Amino acid sequence: MPEPNHPVPVHVVLEPTGRYAAVTPGSSILDAIRQAGVEIVAVCGGRGTCQTCIVQVLEGNPSPLSPEEKALFSEQHVVQVYRLACRSAIIIRTRVFIPSESLSAHLRLQVEGRGEDVQPDSPIKAVDVDIPPPNLQDLRSDETKLKETLEASGLRNTRISLPVLAEASLALRRLSWSVRAVIDRIGPEPRLVTVLPRETRVLGLAFDVGTTKLAGYLVDLVSGDIIARSGAVNPQVVFGDDVISRISYANEGEEQRRTLQFRLAATLNELVETLCREAAVERAQIADAVVVGNTAMHHLFAGLPVRPLGEAPYVPVVTDSIDAPAVDMGLHLAPGVNVHLPPNVAGYVGADHVAMLIASDAVAKGHTAIALDIGTNTEISLITERGIWSCSCASGPAFEGAHIENGMRAVRGAIERVGYRDGEFHVKTIGDCPPVGLCGSGILDAVSALRQAGLLDARGRFTGNDPRIHSANGRAEFVLVPESEAGHGKDVIVTRADVHEIQLAKAAIRSGIEILLAEADLGYDELDLVIVAGAFGTYLSLESAKRIGMFPPLPTDRFQQIGNAAGLGAVQLLLSETKRAAARRLARSIHYVELTTHAGFHDTYVESLLL
Amino acid sequence: MPEPNHPVPVHVVLEPTGRYAAVTPGSSILDAIRQAGVEIVAVCGGRGTCQTCIVQVLEGNPSPLSPEEKALFSEQHVVQVYRLACRSAIIIRTRVFIPSESLSAHLRLQVEGRGEDVQPDSPIKAVDVDIPPPNLQDLRSDETKLKETLEASGLRNTRISLPVLAEASLALRRLSWSVRAVIDRIGPEPRLVTVLPRETRVLGLAFDVGTTKLAGYLVDLVSGDIIARSGAVNPQVVFGDDVISRISYANEGEEQRRTLQFRLAATLNELVETLCREAAVERAQIADAVVVGNTAMHHLFAGLPVRPLGEAPYVPVVTDSIDAPAVDMGLHLAPGVNVHLPPNVAGYVGADHVAMLIASDAVAKGHTAIALDIGTNTEISLITERGIWSCSCASGPAFEGAHIENGMRAVRGAIERVGYRDGEFHVKTIGDCPPVGLCGSGILDAVSALRQAGLLDARGRFTGNDPRIHSANGRAEFVLVPESEAGHGKDVIVTRADVHEIQLAKAAIRSGIEILLAEADLGYDELDLVIVAGAFGTYLSLESAKRIGMFPPLPTDRFQQIGNAAGLGAVQLLLSETKRAAARRLARSIHYVELTTHAGFHDTYVESLLL
């Protein structure tokens, strides 16, 4: 009989994939799903508050229904054993079905973007050399000969780390002492990165590590050409959809933090594989890498604690740029490859925002501009001739479809556009199929259209006698698409609460813009340019955003939607030492404005809530 | 039924330990023993030539007897199923008994030694600092504050690696922002090693990695006191007793080389545990380390390929000193701790010899001296005012008791001294128990005593009619201890072949000395000092060594037996930046003499063969 202290693990089989996990009785279904490596949406990080991790239990009786589940599920749902994965403890062998809407696999990925061209100026140099093989008259060590040969090519005191030397020693013999030495010129002394066959093309890697999505670029370091690009879901989404849930999971313990780091590194390694396969090149040709992300993603990738980011006053562990061995971050590249991490500005203004500013080129061109990257957290910079002011505001997950009654990610069937003309609402879905919910740009449009139609007042309350406005359980809601036209046979609705979420989000962004303008003593009409970056920023309707007051009412031609500028900024930083120096200067020069303690923030925010 | 391509592993149980291994049928018993992690003597590295890996098969029939075994074992041995572990293939489940003489566990360890005192001058400095905690008026990152605080203490541009920063960030909060910062001043910029509670004692680690033995020292970096010392067997001995077998095993493949590295690192990590426990200190207090060894041990420890050391012209991968992260060599120390590896001179004159020269202080005192470390390979240096000449000679394993009919390691029961007086031979054993064989110093003495007794001629042939000289199977042998007085009931003998082994060994050493003297145009009578280091060098009888011509006939007071000088040299290099610089200058200035291709070597060698 098993010892009571060592309970026998029970099996959990996950459909439709057939994967399984063996877990300790009492573990939650969410634990089992994570353990099996299945990526499930869990916006709140498993705290029972977001209601996104819905599963159906096919066999095995889990723990009784939690209060959260009783409130959430209909009687029919209960009969069909729908459960929140995070609230259900496993008792016996269990078979679970994960509906596709609970899987976070098929997000719209974005690796495209516009960016100014950059003159390649990589710190990586290749030198083709012949090294004399050893003989009885020349007993110099491999290292001595390598260094002396490189010195003859003008590279004095080249540093060669032990792992690089170990590989170089083998490569020299394999390549008959005639090789391409790849050198990193960053730092006071040159550094040997790797030894390749002569005339091999030398490549670099740029990654944009978003909270939700990863974008990877493989780049020729000499021509500057992007030779492959690919995207993936950030595998950390299983542990919570937003930065805060991610930080709170990491803070549960060292093991949890390491798990987030390893999962991310593993997916990035797979991306490297994909990129190399696509471009028909060898991984060994990669000699440099740049990774950008928000401060939390930056810290998790770099193996730094994120506790300080989760506690007031939210200071980062590091702001300066970092050059460190790729192997320390779990990337499987040649042992001499370093990763360059551009500087962070603050706990919630990270290296990705710096990269975006670099890519947008607004600074270099002397524009007076607002540049913003909208997400759960929105980073905003005001660029002027007199300096740059930056802030971060908590715009919440509404624009990612979360906390919205019929909200969903930007996947097939999501309404991405809502228009209003002559009393009629028109919707457009991703994939042009029957609608099943609203993604971020859809809900933004919907609120704007409702306001345009006169069905919402400035405070966000439904108004008028439109038959499409219902009152259900004392909650007002607007039927945007009736069940007859919907893809899942249910009404697609917009609730008062949804409108409120959008008000909170847009107020946060608008008041961020206003506070920065006030700090610089500027009016919005003095702006030449409003640069809107990021996936949501690319797809949103500028007219809607202006109509509800998220953006200032400037002519549309002053707006620029630039796509994944952070990723293209990473490519530029990969290619150019000049750009890296510019990014360091830029980050150091930024006036960071902490909104939460800013005297004017509260009033501006309350005012900005109005539609 | 199993696929023919995937044979079912068979179990091998090892007595008397009860350990077991599951191996593929056809594997040798030696493979199984190694896989089970049991340390067996295998002098030749498993090639069937050394006859040291004798085991008894208790159950299960291995492959038929090999020619080597037929030649080695008596009929009775064959009946009792004695086998050479390396020559016996496993077919079915097998139970094997490993006699204690085949186990390499109980060697005489040496961590003592004499050395000149050194003025502590460590590159490691400790600074007690208070760092302002974050608040809303001070949002600087942890790293920025650390650097700025250190800069206020005179440490500009301190480098902080990612893993160190990760730990420091946690430590700053745990220690309420009042800490001892430990700094490494090697290199152009200071480097943060670790963050400790204020006023913690800062320690260093010195290791001498011998082919057979490891010696470890824990040192207070401020006072210079050795606060603990401990030794262990080099766990690589399972893979061959000498450097050549070790190199040939490593060259079988990357995995084999890694195995040697990991095994060594694991035992060094255990030694660190022992040292810390003994001194009642924390591993976290260790901030620096120095490791010395011969070039092969150096390379295997550092993770460098040893193929170039196994092929003419035997060049090392690196000769210069190395400072590299301890973690890269598998040592579990704080992430910022670097290991300093002093320089090598050549493929067979390593950093341990350099450390020995540093410890002996002969260079600094301006002596004209020979310094030598006797082992399977003997390194010899001639120190003069005009420079240092060094060479290495293959003195073979005879002084470790190998290749000697009744030879054995220096363990209990080994004859370590043989005297001759008035027609009688007197023996002294380690542990003063009945003799069972001869260790290195014993066989050296025995040959010297036989020569003294007139029973050997100058060419090493037995002479005279002494009744103790027998002829067995056409081979002449001398019964040193009759079976009635022996500990194992068998004669302890010295054969003509044994004498020949000693002639080869001493000729190699003497001709090395002569060649170096000739290179410097000196006669041996011009030597002030002959410094003899190493375990065997400490125990050997100088009189015997001079009598058989291994050493030049100088007055005994010109000889100095200094014990494990390499270990003490490592301690000195740990404590002193000045000594590290001296070691680098010394290694660079040495005139390395390659004996194998030296014009005068052959004649000198043949002449030195005479007793």
The pLDDT tens digits for B386-420 are 999 999 998 888 887 778 888 887 777 889 999 99
| Residue B115 pLDDT class (50, 70, 90 cuts) | very low
Give B-chain residues touching A594 at CB under 8 angstroms. Answer: 136, 139
| Residue B233 pLDDT class (50, 70, 90 cuts) | confident
Residues 280-319 of A with CB under 8 A from B: 302-305, 307-308, 312-319
Q: What are the backbone dihedrals phi and psi of residue A41, each rounded to the nearest 5 degrees, phi first?
A: -70, 130
Give the neighbor-by-neighbor strand order of the sheet with A226-233. A226-233, A213-220, A203-209, A286-293, A338-341, A322-325
Residue B399's SS3 state is: helix
The mean pLDDT of A137-155, rounded to a whole number, is 95
Looking at residue A39, its pLDDT comes to 66
Asked if residue B511 lies in contact with residue B603, where contact means CB atoms within 8 angstroms, the answer is no
- The pLDDT of residue A180 is above 60: yes
| Residue B39 pLDDT class (50, 70, 90 cuts) | low
Q: Say which residues have a Cβ less than 8 Å from residue B589's Cβ, sequence separation at least 6.
A: B387, B388
- The pLDDT of residue A3 is above 60: no
Q: What are the backbone dihedrals phi and psi of residue A536, each rounded to the nearest 5 degrees, phi first?
A: -60, -40
Q: What are the backbone dihedrals phi and psi of residue A5, each rounded to the nearest 5 degrees, phi first?
A: -80, -15
pLDDT, tens digit (0-9, with 9 covering 90-100), for A325-345: 999 999 999 999 999 999 999
Q: Find residue A21's DSSP bridge partners.
A: A12
What is the DSSP secondary-structure string of B562-581? Answer: EESHHHHHHHHHHHBHHHHH
The mean pLDDT of A184-201, rounded to a whole number, is 94
**Residue B557 and residue A511: Cα distance in Å, rounded?**
90
Q: What are the backbone dihedrals phi and psi of residue B414, each rounded to the nearest 5 degrees, phi first?
A: -80, 135
Asked if residue B291 lies in contact with residue B341, where contact means CB atoms within 8 angstroms, the answer is yes
Is B336's Cβ below 8 Å from some Cβ in A? no
pLDDT, tens digit (0-9, with 9 covering 90-100), for B270-325: 999 999 999 999 999 999 999 999 999 999 999 999 999 999 899 999 999 999 99
Looking at residue A100, its pLDDT comes to 58
**Residue A572 and residue B168: Cα distance in Å, rounded?**
32
Q: Say which residues have a Cβ less than 8 Å from residue A16's Cβ, sequence separation at least 6.
A: A97, A98
pLDDT, tens digit (0-9, with 9 covering 90-100), for A457-508: 999 999 988 999 988 778 899 999 999 998 888 899 999 999 999 999 999 9
- The pLDDT of residue B25 is above 50: yes
**Residue B371 and residue B383: Cα distance in Å, rounded?**
8
| Residue A188 pLDDT class (50, 70, 90 cuts) | confident
Looking at residue B3, its pLDDT comes to 45
CB contact under 8 A, B162 and A347: no
Is A135's Cβ below 8 Å from some Cβ in B? yes
Looking at residue A396, its pLDDT comes to 80
The mean pLDDT of A306-313, rounded to a whole number, is 93
Q: What are the backbone dihedrals phi and psi of residue A297, each rounded to the nearest 5 degrees, phi first?
A: -65, -40
Among the residue ranges A184-188, A283-287, A333-337, B257-261, the one predicted with the least confidence is A184-188
CB contact under 8 A, A313 and B139: yes
| Residue A16 pLDDT class (50, 70, 90 cuts) | low
Looking at residue B113, its pLDDT comes to 43
- The pLDDT of residue B112 is above 70: no
Looking at residue B168, its pLDDT comes to 97
**Residue B334 and residue B348: Cα distance in Å, rounded?**
32
CB contact under 8 A, A142 and B313: no
CA angle B27, B28, B29 (to 5 degrees): 120
| Residue B42 pLDDT class (50, 70, 90 cuts) | low
- The pLDDT of residue B105 is above 60: no
Reduced to 3 DSSP states, what percent helix, strand and coil does chain A have, rounded to the nearest 5?
Answer: 35, 25, 40
Higher pLDDT, A2 or B421: B421
The mean pLDDT of A226-250, rounded to a whole number, is 88
Give the neighbor-by-neighbor strand order of the sheet with B94-97. B19-23, B10-15, B94-97, B54-59, B82-84
Conformational region of residue A18, where left means phi above 0, alpha means psi within -120 to 50, and beta covers everything else: left
Give the nearest chain B residue to A166 (CA atoms): B304
ipTM: 0.80
Looking at residue A42, its pLDDT comes to 63
Distance from CA of B253 to the nearest CA of A (A): 12
**Residue A60 and residue B303: Cα distance in Å, rounded?**
52
Looking at residue A474, its pLDDT comes to 80
| Residue B564 pLDDT class (50, 70, 90 cuts) | confident
Distance from CA of A145 to the nearest CA of B (A): 10
Is B71's Cβ below 8 Å from some Cβ in A? no
Amino acid A79 reads V
- The pLDDT of residue B119 is above 60: yes
Work out the mean pLDDT of chain A and round it to a whole number.
Answer: 89
CA gyration radius, chain A: 27
Give A-chain residues touching B320 at CB under 8 angstroms. Answer: 141, 143-144
CA angle B72, B76, B79 (to 5 degrees): 100
Work out the mean pLDDT of chain B and round it to a whole number.
Answer: 89
Give A-chain residues touching B135 at CB under 8 angstroms. Answer: 313
Higher pLDDT, B42 or B518: B518
Residue B196's SS3 state is: strand
| Residue A515 pLDDT class (50, 70, 90 cuts) | very high
CB contact under 8 A, A317 and B169: yes
Query: What are the Cα distances from residue B111, in Å, to A16, B269, B371, B564?
Result: 64, 17, 19, 7
Looking at residue A108, its pLDDT comes to 37
- The pLDDT of residue A105 is above 70: no
Looking at residue B107, its pLDDT comes to 35
pTM of the model: 0.81
Is B323's Cβ below 8 Å from some Cβ in A? no
Give the nearest chain A residue to B326 (CA atoms): A162
CB contact under 8 A, A166 and B344: no
Higher pLDDT, A48 or B186: B186
The mean pLDDT of A350-361, rounded to a whole number, is 92
CB contact under 8 A, A304 and B328: no
Of the partner residues A135, A302, A592, the one whose CB lies closest to the CB of residue B139? A592
Give the nearest chain A residue to B314 (CA atoms): A139
Is B141's Cβ below 8 Å from some Cβ in A? yes
CB contact under 8 A, A318 and B141: yes
**Residue B194 and residue B292: Cα distance in Å, rounded?**
24
Q: Find residue A28's DSSP bridge partners.
A: A89
CB contact under 8 A, A142 and B317: yes
| E strands, B277-400, in order | 286-293, 322-325, 338-341, 369-373, 377-384, 387-394
**Residue A548 and residue A483: Cα distance in Å, rounded?**
28
**Residue B449 and residue B445: Cα distance in Å, rounded?**
6
Residue keyed to tokens 């194998």 = B596
Higher pLDDT, B570 or B430: B570
User: What sign has the CA pseudo-torsion B554, B556, B558, B562?
Assistant: positive
A138, A156, A165, best to mutate vs chain B, most B CBs in 10 Å:
A165
Q: Find residue B38's DSSP bridge partners.
A: none
> Which of B295, B360, B322 has its CA nearest to residue B580?
B322
**Residue A180 and residue A202: Cα distance in Å, rounded?**
10
Give B-chain residues touching A162 at CB under 8 angstroms. Answer: 302-304, 322, 324, 328-329
The mean pLDDT of A533-562, rounded to a whole number, is 90
Helix axes A142-152, A162-174, angle to 10 degrees: 80
Give A-chain residues touching B312 at CB under 8 angstroms. Answer: 136
For the beta carbon of residue A596, count every other beta carbon within 10 angstroms: 15
Q: Which pair of structure tokens corresponds to residue A593?
A: 């404005």
